[in-house]
Structure 1
């Protein structure tokens, strides 16, 4: 019988005479081990111990995953940092977890994360096994750092480094969201104004042109046709836009080739290219520095990094770099051959390999690309403003020209008729 996480129903006679019953999850090989563990925990006599079928255990795991709330990165960073600090101070692990469960003064999600890990470790798991059991909470980089720290005896330091790394990612995402608020509001306003003109203004003007029997130029007729379709099939248009958006989101998340194409396109467009390169290289250099400094070999570090990154442009290239390293190439030489990496980064990594200071060079690269990313993010709103102004101006000019041409013809015809009558 293989070792696995099992769920038991139990009834225990406690020393003071009461009977306690409930469910217990344990990582054991034999039911007898579960009985001994239960008697040690309760100091009572086991009356009933029944192992539930594996199907019910799997169903219960699915139910917990389905109804548990989403864990925020802020909560995970808080959990890792608090755990690292307490372990570094000499607090026993289970006691540290109980402290985080009881502490309600910090991040709201920290007690929930601590409760999951405490439950797993109470069933006989190691902390790294618990992290691996919750991949939706602990990213692969965090899991690898924890495993390295557990094996090397430097778990507190690795947990604190993982927390710092997640906090830097949080800051980057927060800065990007903040920079994009104004451009998105302006874009939403432009779309709303365009919708108002097509749904309300254009139909009224079209009715006026019809009553006046105005001769409509092709541009105006096309605009009126678009407006008619929008007015008559508003529900279908909205449903179509929603379905198209959902389809694109699904393809981006589920079709690797489509996601790769999107990231390839982002690396070709002027503004997005700078943003994608800075964010991608900051992520790669920082992750690689953490893994190399933790003692992971190059092959495994590149493999972990390829799985951890969400940028398909760099993922495909990192896998090719890993294959090159497997054939005996250096990381820098393989990056140069594969292409797609900035020359400065490739050169600094090559120097780090030759001098034995790869982790320091990667740290310098991470700091440099984080600075570049900060500059790009902070100026992102100012960079996008001209494009939005051009878009708004182009839409306004298009509507005015399309709607003024018939009016100009009507005025010209009226003047000609007046002159002819005179």
Structure 2
């Protein structure tokens, strides 16, 4: 069962509001199931309702459905233990909304270049298989013998167009295979591309910091100890460069070092962000600082995404112009050669 981020946001938001209103879990599950229109989400809630009767805790109930990640299960367990289950549910709703917004931004950054790629494939295909043969027939029908140079230009244009078409076809096939792989893995294609592509290393790093910082703020708001919050955050992030630093920070805190000392040593945060965190935790405003810093990272992700869009679009248009220009030269130069010989 594949439940998208927006649906998860709505599910946990309803859970949080119902619990805040004083309803019990069983009654809340029935109310949510009755109000839902989305069939897949309604099936999940019915499954939760069934598992609730079998499992001792709500966290075990969510885990039995095999839909939610370890971080979500841990958060629900923390909410049950601390008695702040309604706050945890609302925090998870905010978390999934944030992840949905980030995923949409990444999807926007990648979808437009893919559309331009398909347009290039169509244009080059038409030129290679329709336009060039037509012009070659027209040139031959003029009745003049083509010079060796003119013939070479025509052959080069045909070979160049076919080579570009083949390359674009391979890229398109690779894109289709990647989308099918992402669907099979039940992961968002844009997010999966971000975490595996070398072209978005800086954007990926900022995106990971935004996720980590928001998770820490959410855990602290739920009453979790900072060291324990760092341990839970390790289960949130995928296997990436930040995980090693995060685990080293947890180990340092277990050995008695302070949070600010370990993040400075491991360079988990740097520059103004590090200074802001140190001031926040020194003044007892760590949770508010992490929330503010998370918002700033999210804005930076948006700005970086917009920047990549602004850079990628003219590059692809320029490549298309160069390809068409070379093909046109391979047509016009032989034509000029024939006309000059008349």
| TM-score for the superposition, normalised by structure 2 | 0.78
Counterpart contact for 2:221–2:287, Cα < 8 Å: yes
Aligned to 1:165: 95
Counterpart contact for 1:286–1:362, Cα < 8 Å: yes
Counterpart contact for 2:71–2:236, Cα < 8 Å: yes
Larger radius of gyration: 1
Would you say 1:394 and 2:322 are equivalent positions?
yes
Measured in 2, the distance between the counterparts of 1:219 and 1:318 equals 59
Measured in 2, the distance between the counterparts of 1:310 and 1:228 equals 40
Q: How many residues align?
A: 330
Aligned to 1:215: 148
Aligned to 1:102: 34
Would you say 1:79 and 2:79 are equivalent positions?
no
Would you say 1:148 and 2:78 are equivalent positions?
yes
Q: CA deviation at 1:119?
A: 0.9
Measured in 1, the distance between the counterparts of 2:296 and 2:333 equals 55
Aligned to 2:291: 363
Q: CA deviation at 1:165?
A: 1.5
Measured in 1, the distance between the counterparts of 2:327 and 2:257 equals 59
Counterpart contact for 1:330–1:350, Cα < 8 Å: no
Counterpart contact for 1:287–1:305, Cα < 8 Å: yes
Would you say 1:90 and 2:22 are equivalent positions?
yes
After superposition, residues 10-409 of structure 1 pair within 5 angstroms as: 69-104=1-36, 107-136=38-67, 138-178=68-108, 181-205=111-135, 212-216=145-149, 221-225=155-159, 227=161, 242=173, 246=177, 262-267=196-201, 273=202, 275-310=203-238, 312-339=240-267, 341-377=269-305, 381-409=309-337
Cα deviations across residues 339-383 of structure 1 (Å, max 9, x unaligned)?
474422222223334344322221110122223334444566445
Aligned to 2:189: none
| TM-score for the superposition, normalised by structure 1 | 0.65
Q: CA deviation at 1:280?
A: 2.6
Counterpart contact for 1:278–1:369, Cα < 8 Å: yes
Counterpart contact for 1:79–1:113, Cα < 8 Å: no
Farther off after superposition, 115-124 or 210-219: 210-219
Measured in 2, the distance between the counterparts of 1:377 and 1:88 equals 37
Counterpart contact for 1:121–1:127, Cα < 8 Å: yes
Measured in 1, the distance between the counterparts of 2:216 and 2:21 equals 28
Measured in 2, the distance between the counterparts of 1:397 and 1:324 equals 60
Ranges in structure 2 where 5+ consecutive residues have no aligned partner: 186-191
Q: 1:246 to 1:144 in 2, by over 3 A?
A: same
Q: 1:299 to 1:124 in 2, by over 3 A?
A: same
Counterpart contact for 1:280–1:311, Cα < 8 Å: no
* Larger proportion of helix: 2
Q: CA deviation at 1:117?
A: 1.2
RMSD between aligned alpha carbons?
3.7
* Larger proportion of strand: 1
